[in-house]
Amino acid sequence: MKGSAIRRLFIVLAVIVNAIGCDSSNLVVVTGKVTYKDQAVPSGTISFFSADNASAYGELQSDGSYSLKTDKPGDGAAPGTYKVIVVAMQDQANLLPEQKSPLPAPTVPFKYTSLATTDLTAKVEKGKPNVIDFNLTGPLGK
């Protein structure tokens, strides 16, 4: 599966989970930045998942910033506590077809890519700015 296909899969999963359990009138804006070893993670997806099936996701920008989406771009997430995953693979957009890998190399440690292994959490609160930054650490591939 190519990196963009994996990214689309996570987005589809987030949308499905979101459709099950979120009231859009209760959303608050959530923004932040994702870094790995103090360097911006320039592409990928960040997804927030709560125990009560609420979810939101955002696309990482070239400077590592994100803005969460539940129903429409930038609308945010429902207040609550979330487990957070980050999926980021090496960008292959500027490579020739014969140079591309079927599965691009990850640019963040594997533990952050699964709900079963991530230790990232976030608390989204109503009535206050929700700027939630993550500095990822650890070796790639583990």
Sign for the pseudo-dihedral over CA of 117, 83, 17, 13: negative
Give me the pLDDT at residue 22, please. 47
- The CATH number given to whatever domain includes residue 65 is 2.60.40.1120
Answer yes or no: is 116 within a domain. Answer: yes
- Unique residue bearing structure tokens 């506590």: 81
pLDDT tens-digit map of 23-32:
556 899 999 9
Instruction: Tell me what percent of the chain is helix, strand and coil, each rounded to the nearest 5.
Output: 20, 30, 50
Q: Is residue 142 part of a domain?
A: no
Q: Which structural domain, as residue segments, surrounds residue 103?
A: 3-136
47 pLDDT higher than 50 = yes
pLDDT digits (tens, 9 = 90+) for 87-118: 998 775 666 777 666 666 778 999 999 999 99
* Residue 49 resides in a domain: yes
Give this prediction's pTM. 0.77
Kindly state whether residue 84 falls inside one of the protein's structural domains.
Answer: yes
Q: Tell me: pLDDT of 57 over 80.
A: yes
Structural domain includes residue 141: no
Q: Name every residue whose Cβ is closer than 8 Å to that of residue 110 and which is 6 or more positions away in sequence.
A: 117, 140, 141, 142
Report pLDDT for 49: 96
Q: Looking at the domain assignment, is residue 8 inside a domain?
A: yes
As for how many domains the chain has, the answer is 1
How buried is 28 (Cβ within 10 angstroms: 0-12 exposed, 13-18 middle, 19+ buried)? middle
What span, in angstroms and rounded, lies between the C-alpha atoms of 41 and 112?
13
pLDDT grade for 119, boundaries at 50, 70 and 90: very high
List the single range of 16-25, 41-50, 123-132 with lowest mean pLDDT.
16-25
